[in-house]
Amino acid sequence: MAQHLLADLIRQTGSVVIDGAMSTALEKAGCDLNDKLWSARVLIEEPAKIRQVHADYFEAGANVAITASYQATEAGFSERGIDSKTAYGLIAQSVMLAKEARADFLARHPEKDPKSLLIAGAVGPYGAYLANGAEYTGDYHLTERQYRTFHQLRMKALVEAGADFLAVETQARLDEVKVILEMMAEIDAPAWVTFTLKDSAHIADGTPIEEAAQVCGSHPLVDAIGINCVKREMVADALKRISSVTDKPMIVYPNSGETYDPSTKTWHHPVAGPGWENFISKWKSMGAVCLGGCCRTLPSDIVQIAALMKEAT
């Protein structure tokens, strides 16, 4: 029977800090991620750097480390001539690297409760594999069998390697999530589920966010529902809509506030944009209990988020 470690932690603390971007931290460490495999390329070439990123986020105050498996898929690795057995091993390694970082952190901080530090196995959408931004548009269509074939090896590897739960994240399409929910039930794997947004009322494929939240909220293995990889200004209204249809804990890990210019492939930070202090306490007051960062966030952001969450208790 599944252990609901995230749900247990939420009940015990009411405040769970998620880590920040893996890719941004790896780029800062000198990794070239201009690749269809993105951070999964580093799993192959420089896995020690992934372990260090996890360690840095634990030191910053994160309770949850999300594995570097968002872009690590059987299909993606196959395009590089990597067979299924090796792909399984690489995905499993993403869990082991996070576990090693956790063990090292606990050795340095024996006062910390091991149950307060969890490993979330990242399950990105099919759109992420396409590497064309489809996880933000939902502009793709697969059959149930095709979704199953795409997700099966990764989900199996993450669970068997000992991820505490799955982070079904950056999801753009409700039909894809429904298939993943069925697969979770078959392997008895709990998860959080987070969507990307078209606007504050709809997930990326145009489905009303209330409908998506109801589907996930009725599933016994879903321990938290929310949004990630979105503009911070879209969050409050989305949280209001989610909480109107489900009592499940809510989770938010948005982008940093920078904007992406696809023509130059660069990020630009607003000169005088609002900071985390303008958002965290509000989101928490609305019922978001799991908070962290996505694209362009770093350990320094997680330090700030953790402090603001503590102030908001």
Measured distance CA(124)–CA(171) in Å, rounded: 7
Name which of 228, 236, 234 is nearest 284 in CA terms: 236
Mean pLDDT across 166-186 = 98
Q: Does residue 250 contact residue 284 with C-beta atoms inside 8 Å?
A: no
In DSSP terms, 267 is beta-bridged to 260
Q: What SS3 state is found at 280?
A: helix
What's the start-to-end Cα distance of the chain, in Å? Answer: 32
- pLDDT tens readout for residues 177-232: 999 999 999 999 999 999 999 999 999 999 999 999 999 999 999 999 999 999 99
- Two tokens at 94? 């993403």
- Two tokens at 202? 């709809």
Q: Does residue 76 contact residue 129 with C-beta atoms inside 8 Å?
A: yes
Mean pLDDT across 291-304 = 96
Tell me what pLDDT residue 273 has: 72
**Is the model's pLDDT at 263 over the cut of 60?**
no
- Two tokens at 276? 């985390």
Grade residue 272 by pLDDT with cuts at 50, 70 and 90: low
CB atoms inside a 10 Å sphere around CB 66? 29
Alpha helices in 39-112 (DSSP H): 40-45, 47-60, 74-78, 84-108
- pLDDT tens readout for residues 25-40: 999 999 988 888 878 8
Tell me what pLDDT residue 198 has: 96
166: enclosing H helix or E strand: strand 165-171
- Two tokens at 122? 């990242």
Name which of 251, 17, 11, 26 is nearest 112 in CA terms: 17
**Is the model's pLDDT at 264 over the cut of 60?**
no
Name which of 31, 233, 226 is nearest 120 in CA terms: 226
- Model-level pTM? 0.96
- Two tokens at 221? 């293995």
Q: What is the mean pLDDT of the chain?
A: 94
**Is the model's pLDDT at 311 over the cut of 70?**
yes
What are the structural domain ranges in the chain?
5-311
Q: Do strands 191-195 and 197-199 pair parallel, antiparallel, or not at all (unpaired)?
A: unpaired
User: Where are the extended beta strands (E) located within 254-303?
Assistant: 259-261, 266-268, 288-291
Measured distance CA(90)–CA(100) in Å, rounded: 15
Tell me what pLDDT residue 173 has: 98
Tell me what pLDDT residue 226 has: 98
Tell me what pLDDT residue 34 has: 84
Measured distance CA(170)–CA(160) in Å, rounded: 23
Q: Tell me the one-letter amino acid at 98.
A: A
Q: Does residue 276 contact residue 313 with C-beta atoms inside 8 Å?
A: no
Measured distance CA(310)–CA(98) in Å, rounded: 24
| Fold entry, domain 5-311 | TIM Barrel (3.20.20)
Measured distance CA(73)–CA(82) in Å, rounded: 11
- pLDDT tens readout for residues 46-92: 999 999 999 999 999 999 999 999 999 999 999 999 999 999 999 99
Mean pLDDT across 151-179 = 98
Measured distance CA(272)–CA(257) in Å, rounded: 11
Q: What SS3 state is found at 85?
A: helix
CB atoms inside a 10 Å sphere around CB 14? 12
